[in-house]
Amino acid sequence: MIDLAEKKLAVWVLTPQGMTLANQVKQALPHTDLFASQTLLPGKSYTGFSSLAKALAQVWDHYDGHYFIMATGIVVRTIASLIQDKTKDPAVVCGDETGRFVISLVSGHIGGANELAVKLSSILGATPVITTATDVNQVPAIDVIARDQGLYIENRQSVKNVNMAFIKGESLPVHDPFNLVSPYLLSTVMDEFALFAAEKSGIWVDYTVRDLPKKVLVLRPKMLVAGIGCRRGVPRHELKDHLYQVFQDRGLSVNSLSKIVSVDLKADEPGLLELAKTLNVPIEFYTREELDQVKTIPTPSSLVNKHIGVKSVCEAAAMLATGRTSLLVKKTASRTVTIALAAIPFIS
């Protein structure tokens, strides 16, 4: 479930009556900005525009959702060149200026347009209009479940196969060792994961890589932490190459990487910071005193101890970040980089 109160919303208005509705929304949802046609009377509460298309293009990616109080046809023509992918596009809803209807138009599931339409309707006393098949058939939507559980959708083209199976009431093989999606599925759609077959959809929820049938939806839990040590000045590409090699050699998906951790002496290391930015994961640093609290190190280093005063960087950091006393992958070293992996514990 999306917390709409924390999302940034843009409301677009063409008429004075529409502005009345927009102000109601702004009062109810604090992170709301209003955009209105310059043909309306000047006001301090909104940003004026002379061209809806140009104004929208400038801020399209700056908001989690856009609510257009105008005819659907205008909205469709305006957003046509901006929409790219339903897993990335902001939520788009539109509604009439009398506040009778609020229509979920784009990114209904992952983007949250369906939930936004329902929320806006409750604020305005309107009727939400939602047309996504899983919603109208009152069955779970696997992309919504994945979003709410923080799962990375690795092959989004298979979402439609799983959702269609839900709609038809067909049984599905499900591999979900951490019990992340199973509680939200209808019991009638679950079979043993051993029943995966080329002609059938299915759901695989794990950080391990397997050779699966094409129709099987692969969801990656963000539960792996990479502890990294490196020489001063190591470039990003060397760090990335070694990281990817470790994941590949161990049959693990890099899409399950949750964060990178290291010692605070590396907090200004450009390559390490660039790596985290490239992979779009947070990076955290521990003091030597904190790392020294990890007593059981699988492969301690006398050289590291001599230079910085701790027995380990990558292994100690990975275990400290996850609270684990063991590692998924012990220290692996290249000429300039050391990496260890640990898994964040899930309680199923």
Residue 30: the pLDDT is: 86
Q: Inform me whether the pLDDT recorded for 40 exceeds 70.
A: yes
Rounded mean pLDDT of 14-18? 93
Query: Using one digit for the tens of pLDDT, what is the confidence trace for 172-227?
Result: 889 998 999 988 887 666 666 667 777 788 999 999 999 888 889 999 999 999 99
Question: CATH homologous superfamily of domain 224-343?
Answer: CobE/GbiG C-terminal domain (3.30.420.180)
Counting residues of the chain whose pLDDT is more than 70, the rounded percentage is 94
CATH code reported for the domain at 4-131: 3.40.50.11220
Domain boundaries, the chain: 4-131, 142-221, 224-343
Q: Inform me whether the pLDDT recorded for 348 exceeds 50.
A: no
Report the SS3 class of residue 162: helix
Q: CA 107 to CA 82: how far, in whole Å?
A: 13
Query: Using one digit for the tens of pLDDT, what is the confidence trace for 230-273?
Result: 989 999 999 999 999 999 999 999 999 999 999 999 999 999 99
**Alpha-helical regions (H) of the chain:** 16-28, 52-59, 72-79, 113-124, 133-136, 142-148, 159-168, 236-249, 270-279, 288-291, 302-308, 314-322
User: Which residue from 248, 238, 313 is spatially nearest to 275, judged by alpha carbons?
Assistant: 238
Mean pLDDT of the chain: 90
Question: What is the CATH architecture of 142-221?
Answer: 3-Layer(aba) Sandwich (3.40)
Query: Using one digit for the tens of pLDDT, what is the confidence trace for 288-329?
Result: 999 988 888 888 777 776 777 788 999 999 999 999 888 999
Do 4-131 and 224-343 fold alike per CATH?
Answer: no
Rounded mean pLDDT of 48-77? 95
